[in-house]
Structure 1
């Protein structure tokens, strides 16, 4: 066999094997790096939340409690809708309050009574 043919044969066999090992090396190296760190028992440190807030992209209104991007503040969703009721106010603001086991809309009525000083 000619030296050139021998060299080409070797390269044709070696290059796919090299690419395969680079693929596995890249795959396993990426698994060792944390993809997204969240605080563990963060306590009162708000640094993680502030980083998420500043990294969020929104050209309208960024809801401070869910980081949702909406047109108006009262369009913000509650973070935990299964256990919270959303109450919208006439001034365009809103609040999420814990459901109290009352009938639907009771949270809003209680808030209005409290705002009027009747509760």
Structure 2
């Protein structure tokens, strides 16, 4: 089973010796607006998720690759909050959470940690 992985755009730039000058300029332009992370997801092996700091980076990337999956930090925070997960503080924390499990994936408790079920009292009513 493939593992998830997180890469900074700087790491990608350093590993791609054959990247054209235009490609390098494009990447540096993105970085001038903030951090950029690429996340390979084990649960979506064909997909690459781009996490960016600002909406400007999203616009730049979509102009070149309209089909790519991109989330800003604000969008990721909104997503995790909507799913009831704690709000991530940084782009790297967002990447780590996506790399670990799909958002909204339940974290199962061990049976030893489970709280006993407490049913309704007999005098409680279904009606208000």
Q: Which has the higher strand share?
A: 2
Whichever of the two has the greater Rg, that structure is 1
